Structure 1
Amino acid sequence: MRGFEYSDCWVDDARLVLANAQMVVRKGGEVRTRTRAISAKRENGLWIVEAEDIDTGEKFTWQARGLVNATGPWVKHFFDEGMHLRSPYGIRLIKGSHIVVPRVHTQKQAYILQNEDKRIVFVIPWMDEFSIIGTTDVEYNGDPQKVAIDDNEINYLLNAYNAHFKKTLSRDDIVWTYSGVRPLCDDESDSPQAITRDYTLDIHDEQGQAPLLSVFGGKLTTYRKLAEHALEKLTPYYKGIGPAWDQNRGAARRRYRR
């Protein structure tokens, strides 16, 4: 029997998103939480965007010289319902679920399990006391806000784990589950596993004005690369947008320590 070892990095995803929002504010931008876009339309070379505070119901209207549709799993829905435009691509929602159990091994390393269906499942130490086991890869057709693990996914992850470890787990060992959806650009692949995980950017304008940049796919791992690629698409429309700056900026504030 042989194995291999490699190094990787991890990040607190919620803190990373918050850090980006804080940077936007430091650069002079405005961040509106608890706000949803209702509609957007082109008018006299501008975008007119209507939004709503989801807590108070108060509505706002903004004008913009350009619009980015980066609504994730709702990207096609906003084309259909918010802008009444035809989406250039379809979207397929692929659900990924994890189970959290009391820590199953004392080593600091994570494990990669090769499953019978040729997928891999990770067993990752988390918060000293727990292990995360995941993920699944299932086509999803429901509301992205209501995504949740199902019985088949629980059985799948438990079976994958129990096939590799002497101490087996059951449903009673699960302390928490969580799920999310990957909004993947539809490349008409037959199986969820075969759909490309890369992102697709589409830009469209009206006689050179009011560009609409739409983001299909993408994930947190490559969000900075995606953002630079998006700015490259928008550069022809705005003078002084400047060259790419992010790659050599140094994203981390602290050096990584083993």
Structure 2
Amino acid sequence: MVVRKGGEVLTRTRATSARRENGLWIVEAEDIDTGKKYSWQARGLVNATGPWVKQFFDDGMHLPSPYGIRLIKGSHIVVPRVHTQKQAYILQNEDKRIVFVIPWMDEFSIIGTTDVEYKGDPKAVKIEESEINYLLNVYNTHFKKQLSRDDIVWTYSGVRPLCDDESDSPQAITRDYTLDIHDENGKAPLLSVFGGKLTTYRKLAEHALEKLTPYYQGIGPAWTKESVLPGGAIEGDRDDYAARLRRPLSVPD
């Protein structure tokens, strides 16, 4: 979508520093594979670095962060398919949390997620024994078909970068996002994103543009609600679409 709108995407490229200079941002970056250095000037900067948002304030810009971040880990286990129906299940646990059991790739079920405060490196996140036990216990409480550690095919984990609202427990921290904007004499705005999640990213993006609109002429009204993501323009119903995909590959129904 960015490329369609004329933007450039540089994967595996790390922003190393950013500073204001003469009403502009000077941004330095490095290709983590080749070591190639980049330097850009920009009229504005968006710090949307997820779990590293505060770290980039500290190490990349040497500015005080307006908010703290709490990393909350969510882990999942993948097991052989536990039910034949197409629907997912929502399991209500005694701790007032819910756990999902979701069909995946016909052969498997995903069970998750957990909610655990995380203090480590976001790049090194992984499931803990206590989380495995928690998910197995919640599942086994609700299903006749019981699972054990031996049934686990795979596990995966991620961290949610939540804005620190000083809540006592991970479950109580708001899942909403916070946008902070700061400029220097009306120029070189810095928009920082604290929190947010995949299910609200379009709302977040439109809200971010609303924050930036006073600084730039030509930002039009929101348009993403009616747009189709790349690969999502499916003509006809899904069965017809699947049949068209199978036909040139001679894949049986």
Matched, 1:80 2:58: yes
Q: Specify the SS of the correspondent of 2:30.
A: strand
TM-score between both structures, scaled by the size of structure 2 = 0.87
CA distance in 2, matches of 1:45, 1:167: 64
Q: Specify the SS of the correspondent of 1:33.
A: coil
Cα deviation 1:182-201 (Å, max 9, x = unaligned) = 00000000000000000000
Cα deviation 1:136-167 (Å, max 9, x = unaligned) = 00000000000000100000000000111111
Residue 76 of structure 1 deviates from its aligned partner by 0.2
Q: Specify the SS of the correspondent of 1:224.
A: helix
Residue 103 of structure 1 deviates from its aligned partner by 0.2
TM-score between both structures, scaled by the size of structure 1 = 0.86
CA distance in 1, matches of 2:38, 2:7: 17
Cα deviation 1:195-245 (Å, max 9, x = unaligned) = 000000000000000000000000010000000000000000001111222
Matched, 1:28 2:20: no
CA distance in 2, matches of 1:232, 1:120: 34
Q: Specify the SS of the correspondent of 1:198.
A: coil
Q: Specify the SS of the correspondent of 2:142.
A: coil
Residue 40 of structure 1 deviates from its aligned partner by 0.1
2:36 matched to which residue of 1? 58
Matched, 1:224 2:202: yes
Cα RMSD of the aligned pairs, angstroms, is 0.5
CA distance in 2, matches of 1:236, 1:167: 58
Residue 129 of structure 1 deviates from its aligned partner by 0.4
CA distance in 2, matches of 1:140, 1:26: 37
CA distance in 1, matches of 2:86, 2:220: 43
Q: Specify the SS of the correspondent of 2:9.
A: coil
Q: Specify the SS of the correspondent of 1:25.
A: coil
Residue 53 of structure 1 deviates from its aligned partner by 0.2
Aligned with 2:80 (options 76, 81, 102)? 102
Q: Specify the SS of the correspondent of 1:47.
A: strand
Bigger CA drift: 113-122 or 192-201? 113-122
1:197 matched to which residue of 2? 175
Q: Specify the SS of the correspondent of 2:96.
A: coil
Residue 58 of structure 1 deviates from its aligned partner by 1.3
Q: State, as a whole percentage, how many aligned pairs show the same letter.
A: 90
